[in-house]
Chains A and B, each alone.
Chain A
Amino acid sequence: MPENQQPRIGVYICHCGGNISGAVQCESVAKALKGLPNVTITRTDESMCSDAGQSLIEKDIQELGINRVVVGACAPMLHEQTFRGAVTRAGLNPFLYHHVGLREQDSWVHGHDKTAATDKALRLMSAGVAKARLLQPLDPIRLGAEKHALVIGGGVAGLRAALDIARQGLRVTLIEKSPFLGGRMAQLETVFPTEEEARALLHDLIQKVTAHPNVTIFMGAEVMGVSGYVGNFTIQVKQHSRGVSDDNAEALMSACTQEVPDPFNYGLTKRKVIYRPYEGCYSSTPAVDWDHYDGRPFDVNGWPIELKDEPKSFELNVGAVVVATGFDPYTPPQGEYGFGELPQVVTLPQLIRHLALSKDGKSLQWNGRAVRDVALIHCVGSRQVDGVHQPQEDGQVNNYCSRVCCTASLHMTADLHKRYPELNIYDLHQDIRTYGRGHEEYYRHALEDGVRFLRYNGEEVPEVSPAPQGDSHPVLVKVKDMLTYGEEIEIPVDLVVLAVGFMPRDLHGLDKMLKISRGNDRFLLEVHPKLRPVETAVKGVILAGSAQGPMNIQESLSAASAAAAKVASLLGRGKVELPPFVAAVDVEKCNGTGACVEACVYEGAIALQTFNENGEEVKRAVITPANCVGCGACVAVCPNNAVNVQGWTLAQYEAMVEAIGMDLPAMTEVTA
């Protein structure tokens, strides 16, 4: 195997069609590098990523016995895989390759000083050579994988993800915490921008999911524990009893007298503790609200019937987990814009439910009186400003934009105008962010419909107070309108609607069980929005929908399909191949201090095991590669440097730093 012999390093510098050679004297760098130890050949080429350029590398590996390759070219993100492919085709281990970014990090930023750019290129390439000397062949981590995925959350994102995964031929188990499917979408009437019936779309999706033979659904179920790793997660699930069956449901519902505020209608109405959230829901079998049921028996035809939650626990073995746990609408604290103090102040979700429940009215009624003037306030619970808004539990304000509420508000104004053309609508906003295709139409229609727009500054939010006695309206809204250069405007209204934003959900420890992170905004965090969208740092745990941030239904569906595609590509072959960049222990150096185990937060990634060495029991750290994310927290704490991240070892970094700091090999100007 050439890769186990003394390093014979091939160094290649790309001109990148003048993008690099326009600032870096590539030939001079190549010539200087030739003098470095272990460097067998250096070459430059107009375009290393071209077929001809790649062939140069392949030919050198085969004919000159090159067993380490360094290419200086554009950003590694663009062509690292290309060159790993070339190296592999020539029969070399792909991880005996190192990529140096000379374009984005040198020629494109130092073009004004060609000497300095060339000097820098030489140092960066020298560092690359220093690392290459220490490269070792690595094998990707190959694991058997259950062709079975778990989707957590039965809202629109979870349903879509489940269906897409099932259609790829994989088994899916969907668990939903509530006893019914549909999530937040079931609370909507129509959806923008298509104006379709939300429930019609949702029920079509539910029908497809429930009819698919690859899908198993558990409602009223929650995750209680997670162990294992990508391809082989073991999930402990607890499912609550439904409490009633189709046989006794109607009798029990009739007998039930205990009522609680209905969360489906955001507390506007009450419902029984044996309930269906709405007619036509799935499942159609009612369920007991165990959180509120007072335990008193029901009198059914003179027979006392007592209901008990008898949850069942079971385990699932799955290869991947999709987290589609959704969001909660922001609930303003008591007094914010008069919420909770003035009965005429409601949230937008509440108004949506109110309109759904009062379809036939000729005028908009609220709190027993006809509404003539309504003010809609944007950015409630979003784009909050320190010192102006009440912080959340973690002491931070919600400074993110919830994105969806602008179009949702204008969608509401269109609906109100259509139903009640006489209504005067005032729209108080910071900005109008109707960013999606077809969303701007709502703004234009609102202008045509006579909606009055007033723009406030985020640091001087509108004031909502009871109107003075004798006023024909119950509420007075005061706003400093930036569209009229800060004029103080008073608007007497009958109703104030707060366009509340998205809040990250309390997942009751699910995020901790899965070891996934939250961002500053407290939503779940993907590794990178562009490089690795919907993936978390935990392999095999994928995000879908608004659990990772404010999204409209369209975006949630796209994210769900993306998550499903990731799951399918991960589990489709029944085995998982992962990059080898995980921790590895040098048992010769390890003396079992256990510091690495203490430093690691990823369960099962590293553990101390007892071995027998020459008749003596010793403890040594052992890595489970599938559980390791390669962060290297164990590396920093090991007193003997017995543990390293493969492909990114401390010794390699020290060699690179030393090379950067060294006196440069002499460079002579070479004409290409």
Chain B
Amino acid sequence: MSQSQQPKILILGTLSGGYAGADSTGQSHLDYPPNTYILPVMSPVMFPPEFYLRAFEHGMDGIIVMYSGTDSPYKVEADGTAKLINRAYQLMKERGMDIRRLRLAAICTVCVKPFLKEVNQMNDLLEGIGFVKDEIAAHASAIVTQEAAHG
């Protein structure tokens, strides 16, 4: 299967956490699925819940937010991000999306094993539940059917 036929995993990695953790993994030359795209972020507390929905609409099948958790240098990052992700879960549920597609994980700059674990777990999950576009389409179709049934 070529890359474009595989589910895509977006990783939002903080500069003081997940992004540097991915660099550490690279320095160890440890393989992980290549369908992962890591973008550096200052802090994920900047992303509104709708951002995740739009990312799914753009074809990201899974998103892992890798931040520093309670060890974040930013005072609002831990609680603030968790609240935003929880709101994103609500929106995902309303759209019939599997909320396991979005994960929040505390990854430090040298967290090689936890980084690999998170990526592999998400990859395994996506292999099981498939593309997000199919999920969105199935939900839309179900609504149409439901509306038709109600006249």
Contact = CB atoms under 8 A, between A and B. Distances in A.
Interface of A: 75-77, 101, 103-106, 108-113, 115-117, 119-120, 123-124, 127, 515, 517, 519-520, 525-528, 530-532, 536-537, 581, 599, 601-602, 629-633, 635-637, 645, 648, 650, 653-654, 656-658, 660-664
A528 B60 contact: no
A105 B38 contact: yes
Contacts of B71: 519-520, 525
Q: Which of B3, B42, B46, B75 has the most CB of A within 10 A?
A: B46
A532 B74 CA distance: 14
Given A75-B23, A108-B29, 6 more contacts: A517-B72, A525-B71, A632-B43, A633-B45, A653-B51, A658-B58
A116 B51 contact: no
Nearest to B32: A109
A105 B54 contact: no
A375 to B, nearest CB: 36
A124 B16 CA distance: 20
Given A109-B32, A117-B34, A517-B73, A101 B47 contact: no
Contacts of A602: 75
Contacts of A663: 4
Nearest to A664: B4
A106 B30 CA distance: 11
Interface stretch (B76-84, B92-100, B140-148): B76-84
B22 interface: yes
A113 B51 CA distance: 31
Contact of B51 (A526, A599, A650, A660): A650
A109 B37 contact: no
Contacts of B74: 517, 537, 629, 631, 633
Given A77-B20, A531-B16, A650-B51, A105 B46 contact: no
A108 B46 contact: no
Interface residues of B, number: 48
A75 B38 CA distance: 12
24 contacts: A101-B38, A104-B26, A110-B34, A116-B3, A119-B2, A120-B3, A519-B71, A531-B20, A537-B75, A630-B42, A631-B76, A631-B77, A632-B43, A633-B43, A633-B80, A635-B47, A635-B48, A636-B48, A653-B39, A654-B51, A654-B55, A654-B58, A656-B39, A657-B55
A581 B26 contact: no
A77 B98 CA distance: 35
Given A633-B80, A661-B60, A528 B27 contact: no
Interface of B: 2-4, 8, 10, 15-16, 20, 22-23, 25-27, 29-32, 34-43, 45-48, 51, 54-55, 58-60, 70-77, 80, 84, 109
Contact of A631 (B2, B43, B60): B43
Contacts of B70: 519-520
A528 to B, nearest CB: 5
B45 A631 contact: yes
Given A631-B76, A636-B84, A124 B37 contact: yes
B87 to A, nearest CB: 10
Contacts of A632: 42-43, 45-47
B79 to A, nearest CB: 10
Contacts of A119: 2-4, 34
A395 to B, nearest CB: 13
Contacts of A648: 41-42, 46
The 4 closest A-B pairs by CB, nearest first: A632-B46, A104-B26, A661-B59, A537-B73
Contacts of B38: 101, 105
B112 to A, nearest CB: 11
Contacts of B109: 528, 530-531
B10 A660 contact: yes
Contacts of B39: 127, 653, 656-657
B42 A645 contact: yes
Contacts of B26: 75, 101, 103-105, 108-109
